[in-house]
Structure 1
Amino acid sequence: MAKLEMDIQKYHEEVNEVEMITKRALGKMVVRHVGNEGIGEQSDLRRLFQACIDFIQKTNPIIWSDASITIYDDENDQIFTIKSGKARHQYICSMRDNEPTITQRAVNEAGRCCQM
């Protein structure tokens, strides 16, 4: 098995499907996976979720009924995806230089993704 495949398999992955990605839907994920504010030691995961909440509030709301955000929590080896519709608009949220970063993925006509 290739090293990349082994690295991917170590992650716990969860996919949440919703009608529309909203602040409320992401907030429910925060409570479920991180807990209420001030509880737990998953500060990086909380920061990643908060970055996604801030991002969706600054972006055109029309896209969030056909989108996905994948959150990579390297600290705890977890991947969380929230998806609506056919996920035509795809985003990745991860830590880069100790700061949450969100990047968009391009989807070509064949439905394949590539990093932008």
Structure 2
Amino acid sequence: MEEMYLKAFEALPHSSTCRLIDFDKADVVPGFVSKTFFLIVAGTKPWLTMKVELHPLINIARPEYCGIEVVACQQGIGLPQTAPYHVALDITHLLGTKGIEVIGASNRKQFNVP
């Protein structure tokens, strides 16, 4: 991706319904097929009705650690009751030169992935 496209994307308004949230546990596990990997993240979402997803950061060049954000989005009527969440992402094609970094609201964790 060229830098001018990234700057145009970053200039767009931010969503009012999505937020970074923290995670309690994150693990990288190998897939069944050789040289495939999955990121599994678990924690507690602040609202029962939030949908939690893992969003890779946009990179112009391949970084040492590809950042992956833990994002929760609220749609419609919200129920402000905490609830556990578990999400997974195939990271086979999202690896930096050393691995990945999981990014929460106030915590981060790096994984070296071969």
TM-score band w.r.t. shorter chain: under 0.3
Richer in helix (by share) = 1
Richer in strand (by share) = 2
How high is the TM-score relative to the length of structure 1? 0.27
- RCO (CA 8 Å, sep 6+): is it higher in 1 or 2? 2
Larger radius of gyration between Structure 1 and Structure 2: 2
How high is the TM-score relative to the length of structure 2? 0.27
